[in-house]
Structure 1
Amino acid sequence: MVSSPHEAMHRIFQEHPGLFSRVSEVLGVTFSPPTSVTILPTDLTESRPVERRVDTLLRLDTEHDEPLLLAVEAQGRKDLDKPASWTYYLSYLHAKYKVPPVLLVVCQDRATAEWAARPVHIGPKQWASLTLRPLVAGPHNMPLITNAAEARKDLALATLSAITHADDPDIDAILKSLSAAMREAPESLTGPLVELTAQGLGKRPAAQQWRNLVAVDLSFYKSPISEEIRDEGRDEGRAQQGARDVLRVLEVRGIAVSGEARDRISGCDDVDLLEHWMDRAITAGSAEEIFAAE
């Protein structure tokens, strides 16, 4: 079952850790592509009863640069308590792993992204003891990929583009280019990205367009969302046939069907209820009588 955009915004870095070097390049900071990746526990809880968890935590080892810890946080709105938590995360990780930590915050709206990107100075104004400087990816700085050829060059980046631009007026073009680019890629690569895109869109209007594109352009995939769409299609087909059967029985029996009753029958998507109406249609004296107990 598809979950929230929050999951997609950080889980994509678990599925494609190398995406961080491309995202950081877009953000104007250079990190070497990792040669190996270790997914670390996200629980940053101390022995005392204060539980703190980062969304995604990865150790990235590279060929030329020193290793680093990448903490990815998906941020849906401004939260005045977050900078203190983020500072704690980075300090804790540095103390525990003795590896330089980097915080990447992924947002879906510009206001939240600009808020998250502000440096936070911790300490007296005369001398800040610590300064929090997250890298922030959002609709204000992630590339707007509306060309299938461009999306094909980096499907993970194109997926993140769709997630961070979920509310963009051009989201239709973004999703069309992404689905077109995925057609020619192996399912092992695109399957998880199909799911992450669906998660990232959440309950926005664009989510239904993505489902339609998956059903048509990527109908051969055996991913949970594609199976869910196909199940919905089968249920919809059964409901449509059930409505036709109810109307046909009433027609054969010479029962007049008002426009309101016809719309109610045709618009019903409950297969069990349609079967119940079918049983009543066989003996009902009027079309309205089949709804008597509803």
Structure 2
Amino acid sequence: MLDIPFPSPTEVAVVDTDLTEIKPIERRADTIMMFTSLEGQHAVITESQSKPDDRKTAAWAHYISHVHVKFGCPVTLLVICQDEATATWAALPKTIGLPDRPTLSVHAVVVGPHNIPVIDDLAEAVNDVVLTMFSALTHARSKEVAAILEVLADALDTTDTTSAGHIAEQTEIGLGNTDARRIWRDLMATKTYRYQSEYAQMLRAEGEAKGEAKVLLMILDGRGVVIPDEVRRRITTCADTTVLETWCKRAIHATSLTDIFGTDDEQPEQG
């Protein structure tokens, strides 16, 4: 009657109308930010996408509808891509419904190396730290990314600490599983910036603990102390630098593990 093409059904069944999720499916966006202006609130969902994935249609539709219902405000989906092919895919409308008559369409705002410039000049980075962050995220797989991250880290030190801390963490999240993420983590762990968040301080402490553990193992190996795998694992996973420093001091004159760890309570578990 409506002249809408529809596949001829081989079976028709009525399903439960209760859409409450009894068994929740984990849905987690990369970042959701709420912007408030004189016109009201506007939510921006940020997603980092490393390759085309048509399964994202359902996930993104869920994110958008959930945020819209929860906060009752307009929602924008921002997709960050690290290559032009993925950016081209992400920019296409994602539809749910009949091919010629979609019920729902998702239109993302897409940024990638094709429309975000490389910013590796400190003065330019200081002038626009947010654009510099997007430059780092979109060029994460390029050879210029190390220089971008260096100027971003320094530029963030010129803005207010709260905003800089948020941008620093957003950068780490947006870089995904790339070598650039390790470069950024090293910057946050080895350098001191006034904006460094608890996350960055944790990374620095984590790096110090790993360094202490490495020194301890070198001392033990040098003194010919046999280190069972279980003990080696306990040492390398210890995050308390004070404990590791104590063990290092004892290891200088140790001839056995007992000389280092003392009582059974102090000694790393073996098994």
Residue type of the alignment partner of 1:157: L
State the distance in 1 between where 2:137 and 2:117 align. Answer: 11
| Identity %, equivalent residues | 29
- Residue equivalent to 2:157: 183
The SS at the match of 1:226 is helix
RMSD: 4.2
Residues 220-241 of structure 1, C-alpha deviations (whole Å, 9 max, x = no match) = 6463333432452365257447
Within a 5 Å distance, the mapping from 1:1-294 to structure 2 comes to: 46-49=19-22, 51=24, 53=27, 55=29, 56-57=31-32, 60-63=35-38, 68-87=42-61, 89-90=63-64, 99-124=73-98, 126-215=100-189, 217-218=191-192, 221=196, 223-233=198-208, 235-236=210-211, 239-240=214-215, 243=218, 247=222, 275=251, 278-279=254-255
Which structure carries more helix by proportion? 1
Residue type of the alignment partner of 2:164: T
Residue type of the alignment partner of 1:275: A
State the distance in 2 between where 1:210 and 1:239 align. Answer: 22
Q: CA deviation at 1:118?
A: 0.8
| TM-score, L = length of structure 1 | 0.55
2:57/2:106 contact within 8 Å kept: yes
Cα gap change, 1:87 to 1:179, in 2 (>3 Å): closer
Residues 115-154 of structure 1, C-alpha deviations (whole Å, 9 max, x = no match) = 1211235554555554432112233323322111121123
- Residue equivalent to 2:6: none
Cα gap change, 1:246 to 1:278, in 2 (>3 Å): farther
Residues 207-257 of structure 1, C-alpha deviations (whole Å, 9 max, x = no match) = 44334433554356463333432452365257447746975x79xxxxxxx
State the distance in 1 between where 2:177 and 2:219 align. Answer: 31
State the distance in 2 between where 1:48 and 1:242 align. Answer: 50
- Residue equivalent to 2:227: none
2:95/2:102 contact within 8 Å kept: yes
Q: CA deviation at 1:96?
A: 7.4
Cα gap change, 1:67 to 1:244, in 2 (>3 Å): closer
Residues 90-122 of structure 1, C-alpha deviations (whole Å, 9 max, x = no match) = 466667766443322233343332212112355
Q: Unaligned 5+ residue runs, structure 2?
A: 1-17, 225-234, 237-243, 257-271
Cα gap change, 1:172 to 1:133, in 2 (>3 Å): same
1:75/1:105 contact within 8 Å kept: yes
Q: CA deviation at 1:171?
A: 0.7
2:126/2:155 contact within 8 Å kept: yes
Cα gap change, 1:126 to 1:143, in 2 (>3 Å): same
Count of residues in Structure 1 that have an aligned counterpart in Structure 2: 217
- Residue equivalent to 1:12: none
Cα gap change, 1:136 to 1:46, in 2 (>3 Å): farther
| TM-score, L = length of structure 2 | 0.59
State the distance in 2 between where 1:246 and 1:126 align. Answer: 70
Tell me which of the two structures has the higher relative contact order, counting C-alpha pairs closer than 8 angstroms and 6 or more residues apart: 1
State the distance in 1 between where 2:210 and 2:59 align. Answer: 46
The SS at the match of 1:279 is coil
2:220/2:251 contact within 8 Å kept: no
Residue type of the alignment partner of 2:255: D
1:120/1:132 contact within 8 Å kept: yes
State the distance in 2 between where 1:61 and 1:239 align. Answer: 48
Q: CA deviation at 1:181?
A: 1.3
